[in-house]
Every structure is written in structure tokens, then in C-alpha cells.
Amino acid sequence: MQTADAARFAQTPFVRKKHRAELLARCVFGGMTLGMIVPLLLIIGYLLCQGAPLLSWAFLTTNPSSGMRKGGLWPALLGTVWLVVTALCVSAPVGVFAAVYLNEYAKDNWFTRIVHLAVVNLAGVPSIVHALFGLGAFVLFAGLGRSILAASLTLAIMTLPVIIASTKEALASVPLSFREACWNVGATRWQTIRRIVLPNSISGILTGVILQVSRTAGETAPIMFTGAVFFKNVEEGNLFAYSLKDQCMALSMHLYTVTTQVTNAPEPLPYAIAVVLLGTVLLVNAAAIAVRVYLRSRKKW
Amino acid sequence: MEMETTGAQPGPANSGNGVRAPVTRRAQRRGWEQVSEHVIELFIRLCGISAIVFVFAIFFFVFREGAPILPRLDLWKFLFTPYWYPTSLGQARYGVGALILGTLSVTALSMALAVPFGLGAAVFVSEFCGHRTKEALKIVIELLAAIPSVVWGFIGLTVMNVAIQKVFRVQVGLNILNASILLALMSVPVIVSIGEDSLKAVPDSYREAAFALGATQWQIVCRVLLPAAKNGLLAAVLLGVGRAVGETMAVLMATGHAVNIPHSIFDSVRTLTATIAAEMGETAEGSDHYRVLFVIGILLFSITFLMNLAADLVVKGIRKK
């Protein structure tokens, strides 16, 4: 097509130069994008190859033994699940309602601007500062000690802004006319939100919450001083082997300690832990994306 | 709005003692709904201000643990001397100069790598590829953002360490370069997604006008879109910097963790964040060392606070236009 055009309209050198520049820019930018993605695939492939000999069902469901050098990672896996679920129970309702406030109730004034600024800043606080906060506030001041509860609360506050931001975006995508129609038949604000706004934005809210799960599962720094321990033996196969007051192991922390503090660990062990952690996080993330794509395709407006 | 609240107040009284007509079920239900409406609204407002409360709480509690040592700490010496000997008996010295330099050098190099790649990828995703490719790329970028920092650190410790030793023929592969590459890969998704948003925010009429004048895609990008979206792109870069400064686990594992004033990109350094992570577990609660680590926390909090404030003001700038 382009060649036919080129034959009909004689190309000036200027136009040729223009098209060369275009092609060059496209290649450079495409190359940059590829330069970001290729390392990702290579690294995941490499980790999988290295960790493969250890990966098995038994690896996931047994306790570590002989100073973490043998056995599986059951307590770490279970600990991560406990941390994530507890954190979610706190941050999901608070985050969703905070977003409802920002999107449905708040007026456009200086106070709302400050709330927005606070959310942005909360998202930017380094994870290690969250850890210090968790240590100062929950472990010492509130007297929770180093426990799953203290660690989860720290994680919950850390992931709150993610939930607020994604929920707010989901709420904002519900057209105003929906609300107006509902108000016009005499519904109150809350009735409108519960019956019209929330059901219509549930896909976006769900995506945000699931993404928060994946982020929580991977965090290490905030739980280092607030509840995660080097080693803890728990009953195999029992989902309720921990309680909120216990300290726990976590996958991310386990990877860190095995890599840096356990000497003579078998070569594939850290790779296998990394694969399990990465697999968990990416699976949860892929689930969020799938939910979003599915629900978006059903959207009626 | 005003009508609604005044109408709501007599609600419970109406249904409670039934001054006027005998209380019907419908009136009772309305009364209950009006009470619950108020309760829920109060709850929603509380959640709404929670973010402010938490930001202040973070500052308060970190400050509370660090404050007792502040009067005894010579701020000039603390910030600008490179002597970090927190555990030496009798004469512990707390100078975070080398740590600040470590953080700065790693952040600067990682941004030098991440900003061109991030902005280039943002332009490519937003302007140069078709709808399907775009969706696919955005998903990949999202997955890139999801990789936990401890996994990046592990990659730095194993894969990158060996790679850098082989490629550059240096003794130690855990150095500024290693951590910077990891940080660049970690902050690129932030830069891409926010950069892409700000390119998307440029009205289509700009593109159409330029296209009608015979401009190619590249000319549109560099003459029309980049100038129009420059505030958003700047905000994207600032947020990337904020993420790089605050990153902990990856730099803890990949920088080599040696207190050192760097002379080349192959030197090992130590950063502010990594110092807290590595040493907090070993200090006695309430000791000077413990409190100094909290002071470093205050420093980090302030740096990222300023970064975010700057990014926010830059974004506000666009919105006003």
C-alpha cells in the first residue's frame, strides 16, 4: 500500500527522511519495550530450571528439617496465607469505604485535597519505614508483641493506598446518570451506593483487592521485625496450626534467610523457594487480570 | 443535601413513640433505614480520613522511638560524616554520610537506566502499537511490577552477581551496577504505567491536528505529545525515584552491603534502607543504636514525603491547565 502511494506521489528527500526517522523511532522504542520484557522471561525460565529438581507436592507440605537444608516449606507457605488473609480482612473494608468516601461523599475542597495527598504519600512510604512503624506502634506500643496480628496490621496499612486507588477508579467509572436515576426514585445516598454503585463497580474493586493480595504475599521488610521468624515447626496439613498471637514463618522471609544465612544449603533449594513465591504471586496476579478481562467484557455501558 | 439531613432527624422519634398516626411497618422501616444511613455515613467518613490518620501515626511512632537520641545527636556529624561504627564499644559513631551516598549513587544510576527505557516503553505502548499488542504489553508490565523485591534480590545475588563478574571481569559482582539494574527493572513498570496515563490524557484532537498536517507518528510524539504530557512524565519519573529510594530487600542483597564511599560503579555500597533492615534485628530495644536506626527512618520518610509532594504538585499543575 505504502509502496503504491510512493510510486504515485514522487517522494521528496524530506519525506524519505521523515519516514526513516519514523521507522527508527519505532524500532528504538520497540526495542526498549522488549529490553524490559525479555529479561523477565529469561529470569523466570532460569529460576524454574534451577529449582525444578526439588519442586514436588511433598516440598509444599512438609516441615523443613536438618537446619532448613532438607524438607519442605509448609510452615512458610501457611504463614504467608495467614498473614495475607488477616491483612486483607482489615485493609479491604477500610480501603473500599475510604474510596467510597473519596468518590461519593467528599466535596472538592482543601480537606479532600489533603486526604488525597495522604493516600499518595502513604503509597510512597518505604516498606522499611512501615516496618519501623509496625514495630513502634503495634509490637511495642499496643503490646501485641511479635505476632501474626502485628505483622498483618502493618501489611494492611501498607497496602491500604493500593486498594483505595483502585477502588476509587472503579467507582468513578460508574456513570453519574446511574446515580441520578436512583436518587430520582427517592433512594438515599447509601442505598444508591449499595444497590447501584457497588454492584456496577465490583469488577474493578475485586481486581484491586486481588492485586493487594499478591503484593502482600511478596513483602519481606515490613514483617521482618513484626512477626516473622527464622524457623517454626507446625503441624503438617493443619490449616489452623497458627493462631493470631503466634509468630510465623513466611515465604518471602524464608527465601531471604535461606539465601543469606543458611550455609551449605543444597544448590536448588533457594531457587525452588523463589519459584514457589514467584508462582504464588504471579498466579494471584494472573487471576486478578482474568477477573478483570472477564467482567469488563460483560460490561453493559 | 441540606433537606436530607434535616428530614432524617425526626426519623427515629417518629417510629419510636408514634406521635401522629399508628406506626405502620413501612414507617418503622424508614426510621431504621434513616438511623442506619447515619451510622454508615459516619463509618464511611471515618474510613475516609484513615489515610491521614495513618500518615500521622507513621510519623508519630517512628519519631517517638527515635526522638530520645535527637538532642544528643550532632546533626551535622550525623548527616555528613562517613563513619558508621554503631557497635564499637565505648565510642560508637553514627555518621550516615556513606549510606546517603550509597542510596544516592544506586538511585541515580538506576534512574539513568530506567527513565529512558520507561519513557520509551510508555511511548511505544501508548502510540506505536495496535490495540491487542497494547493490552498484552500492559499485562506483562503489570506482572513485572508484581515480582516481589526479595525475589529480585535473590536474582541479584545469584544470576546478576555471576553475570557481572564474567562480563566486566571484576572481583565482586555485588555492587552499585548490580543493584541499579535490579532497581531499574523494578521501577520501570511504575514509570511506564504513569507515563502511559499522562500520554493518554493528551486530547486526541492534538494528534488529529498534527496528523492532518502530514506529521508522522514520531513527529507527533516528539513535537506534540511529549511537550503536552511533560508534567505527567516528570511525575512518573519522580514516583520512580521515590520507589528506588525506598526499596529495601533488593538493595540489601545486591549492593554488597559494605559501608563505603563509592568511586566507581563496581564498588560495593550500603544504603539507608538496607542498614535498617540488616541491623534492627540485632540491636537492643531502647539502645542508642536502635534509636539512630529510627532516626534514619525519619530521614527516609522525609525524603519520600518530599518526592511524593513534588510529584503531586507537578500533576496538579497539569490539571489546572
Q: Are A60 and A276 in contact (CB under 8 A)?
A: yes
**Predicted local distance difference test score (pLDDT) of residue A109:** 86
Confidence of residue B231 (pLDDT cuts 50, 70, 90): confident
CB pairs under 8 A between A and B: 268
What percentage of chain B exceeds 90 in pLDDT? 26
Say whether both B254 and B234 belong to one domain.
Answer: yes
- What average pLDDT does range A28-42 have in this prediction? 84
- What average pLDDT does range A256-273 have in this prediction? 86
Query: Cβ B249–A220 below 8 Å, yes or no?
Result: yes
Query: Which of these three, B25, B45, B72, is where a domain ends?
Result: B72
Q: In 3D, which of B303, B4, B280, B320 has the Cα closest to residue A223?
A: B280
| pLDDT, greater one: B252 or B29 | B252
CATH number assigned to the domain comprising residue B295: 1.10.3720.10
What whole-number distance in Å separates Cα of residue A149 and Cα of residue A226? 9
**A38 in contact with B, Cβ within 8 Å:** no
Q: How many domains does chain B have?
A: 2
Say whether both B20 and B113 belong to one domain.
Answer: no
**A27 in contact with B, Cβ within 8 Å:** no
Nearest neighbour of A137 by CB, restricted to B57, B281, B285: B57
What ipTM does the predicted assembly reach?
Answer: 0.87
Residue A262's identity, in one-letter code, is V
Say whether both B240 and B309 belong to one domain.
Answer: yes
3-state secondary structure at position B194: helix
DSSP annotation of A146: S
Q: For A286-297, what is each residue's pLDDT tens digit?
A: 888 888 888 777
Cα angle for residues A6, A10, A16 (degrees, 5° grid)? 70
Say whether both B178 and B209 belong to one domain.
Answer: yes
Query: Which of these three, B20, B54, B72, is where a domain ends?
Result: B72
- What average pLDDT does range A240-268 have in this prediction? 86
**Predicted local distance difference test score (pLDDT) of residue B27:** 66
Say whether both B147 and B264 belong to one domain.
Answer: yes
Mean pLDDT of chain B: 84
**Predicted local distance difference test score (pLDDT) of residue A113:** 87
Query: Cβ A136–B151 below 8 Å, yes or no?
Result: no
**Predicted local distance difference test score (pLDDT) of residue A38:** 86
- What average pLDDT does range B65-79 have in this prediction? 86
Four-CA torsion B304, B307, B311, B314, nearest 10 degrees: 150
Lookup result for grid cell 539513568: B112
DSSP annotation of B20: S
Kindly report the nearest CA distance between residue B96 and chain A, in angstroms.
Answer: 17
Given a cut of 80, whether residue A10 has pLDDT beyond it is no
- What average pLDDT does range B10-26 have in this prediction? 48
| pLDDT, greater one: B315 or A28 | A28
Kindly report the nearest CA distance between residue A239 and chain B, in angstroms.
Answer: 24
Q: Are A80 and A251 in contact (CB under 8 A)?
A: yes
- What average pLDDT does range A43-53 have in this prediction? 88
What whole-number distance in Å separates Cα of residue A12 and Cα of residue A297? 46
Confidence of residue B5 (pLDDT cuts 50, 70, 90): very low
Query: Cβ A132–B65 below 8 Å, yes or no?
Result: yes
Given a cut of 80, whether residue B20 has pLDDT beyond it is no
DSSP annotation of A196: I
Nearest neighbour of B154 by CB, restricted to A120, A253, A255: A255
Say whether both B53 and B87 belong to one domain.
Answer: no
Question: What is the domain range of residue B185?
Answer: 80-320
**Predicted local distance difference test score (pLDDT) of residue B15:** 41
Q: For A164-216, what is each residue's pLDDT tens digit?
A: 988 998 898 888 999 999 999 988 888 899 888 998 888 888 888 888 888 88
Question: In A, which residues are within 8 Å of B300 by CB distance?
Answer: 126, 128-129
Q: For A59-79, what is each residue's pLDDT tens digit?
A: 888 888 777 777 788 889 999
Q: For B142-160, what is each residue's pLDDT tens digit?
A: 888 888 999 999 999 988 8
Nearest neighbour of A256 by CB, restricted to B57, B62, B150: B150
Query: Which of these three, B44, B72, B100, is where a domain ends?
Result: B72
**Predicted local distance difference test score (pLDDT) of residue B24:** 62
Long-range CB pairs of B315-321 (<8 Å, 24+ gap) are B315/B231, B315/B232, B315/B235, B317/B231, B318/B198, B318/B201, B318/B231, B318/B232
What whole-number distance in Å separates Cα of residue B54 and Cα of residue B73? 27
**Predicted local distance difference test score (pLDDT) of residue A157:** 93
Given a cut of 60, whether residue B16 has pLDDT beyond it is no
Q: Are B249 and B277 in contact (CB under 8 A)?
A: yes
**Predicted local distance difference test score (pLDDT) of residue A86:** 93
Say whether both B165 and B185 belong to one domain.
Answer: yes
Question: In B, which residues are within 8 Å of A103 by CB distance?
Answer: none
**Predicted local distance difference test score (pLDDT) of residue B71:** 86
Say whether both B8 and B66 belong to one domain.
Answer: yes
Strands annotated E in A212-281: none
